[in-house]
Structure 1
Amino acid sequence: MTTYYRDSDVEVTSAGVRMNGREYALVELRQVWHTRGRRSWGTIAGRGALGVAMLLPLMVGALGVGIALVAHASVAVTAGLIGGGILIGLAAAPLADVLLEHVDRSYDRGSRRREIWVRTRQGDVLLLSTADAARFGRIYRALQRALEPSRVTR
């Protein structure tokens, strides 16, 4: 028996599938398909907020340099504003690194719910429903690999 995928809730092998406490032999599965739910606008708004947070130090730094160049202040105040603006702008690099990691994880999780359905003799059954896009992809590919030798319609 070959194991294609296994975690605490899901096991996909060459003999069958176990998801959420239910077990099915591969020969019982007449058809397998997946669906995608509606997009989560909250997730997308969160990504946008992270983008703004990355650009904010650059904008504040540029504003400080711009004010220093426009204002008719003493040389010490102008140099202080330009230096402060540059330092704030440079702070964007480490902040962007941290925030880009959060954006990457957000794309791994996905912005919509995904479901795996199967058709058996008893009818259509929802095997899995998850918002984790990476996990969904691993499970669905494992299920496809498990079904290839048995030539079940997908």
Structure 2
Amino acid sequence: MIVYYRDPAVEVTSTAIHIHDRVFRLDDLEYVWHREITADPRAMRRLAGRGALNAGVVVGAVLALLGVVYLIAGAVGDPDAAGKVLVPLAVVVVLVGLAGPALEWTLHRLDHSYDQGIAMHEIWAVWRGREVLLLRVTDESRFGRIYRSIQRAMEAPR
């Protein structure tokens, strides 16, 4: 037996598709297809959160750049300003250093939201003569891996 895909809820093998506690033998499947349906409210919240994260990263970068330009411009015109500029500049450097973990978390969440997508994906099959919904997922990359594994299992000689 060949395992094409496995996660905690789904396993696709050369003989069957196991989804949660249901088992669909490949010999009983006539046709498998997928479709995309309207996003649910959770997906729409992810989209709004993605926009907020994008805006936060851009606004933070612009504010940091403006702060550094302001400090440098203030130091150029006044020779005694070097002491006045060093303390705020040191504070900016410390804040940028502390912002690294926060920025890492923000970018990770942003990547994760793009991986999941905002659409709901369904995998359907004709099983023993009737149409059956095999699986519904919102994670686009997981959906792609599962659907491709089902295709490979169905196309493989038995």
TM-score by length of 2: 0.74
**Which sections of structure 1, spanning at least 5 residues, go unmatched?**
none
Length, aligned pairs only = 151
> Superposition pairs for residues 5-154 of structure 1, below 5 Å?
5-39=5-39, 40-64=43-67, 69=73, 75=81, 95-150=102-157
Q: Deviations over 1:120-142 (max 9, x none)?
A: 23411001111122221221111
Q: Are the counterparts in 2 of residues 57 and 91 from structure 1 also a CA contact under 8 Å?
A: no
Shift of residue 85, structure 1, vs aligned partner? 6.2
Structure 2 CA distance, aligned partners of 1:61 and 1:90? 12
- Quickly say closer, same or farther: Cα 1:27–1:53, change in 2 above 3 A: same
Structure 2 CA distance, aligned partners of 1:99 and 1:58? 13
RMSD after superposition: 3.0
Percent identity of paired positions between Structure 1 and Structure 2: 36
**Which sections of structure 2, spanning at least 5 residues, go unmatched?**
none
Letter of the aligned partner of 1:28 in structure 2?
D
What is the SS of the residue equivalent to 1:111? coil
Q: Are the counterparts in 2 of residues 16 and 24 from structure 1 also a CA contact under 8 Å?
A: yes
Structure 2 CA distance, aligned partners of 1:82 and 1:55? 21
